[in-house]
Amino acid sequence: MRFDYTQGLLHYLSIHYYKSVWSSFGTWLRTIRENTLPSEMATALAMTRTYNYFLEDDQYRSIFKKFLVEKTEDRRSTYQTTISAEAA
């Protein structure tokens, strides 16, 4: 069920924000043309390339962005603690 939501979100973003997706894609693809919408793969790659910039931008701090930052920081601190404990 979760996959359906993700695929639907990727479709929505590729249709309504195709210019942003293509500008953030950052790699060569033969099908990049003005009249062609990006695929789910191209949209997902563009999102992974811009994820950190999205979180670092403080211009618009939505509740969802705050949630993501908190969860990401929790995972990073847990990961760093585990590595530190293994190194000792």
- Summarised one tens digit per residue, pLDDT across range 10-63 is 889 889 988 888 888 877 666 666 778 888 888 888 888 887 777 676 666 677
pLDDT confidence band for 79 (50 / 70 / 90): very low
- B/e letters for 11-49, b = 16+ CB within 10 Å, e = fewer, are eebbeeebeebbebbeeeeeeeeeeeebeeebbbbbeee
pTM of the model: 0.57
Q: Name the residue with higher pLDDT: 54 or 76.
A: 54
pLDDT at 86 (0 to 100): 52
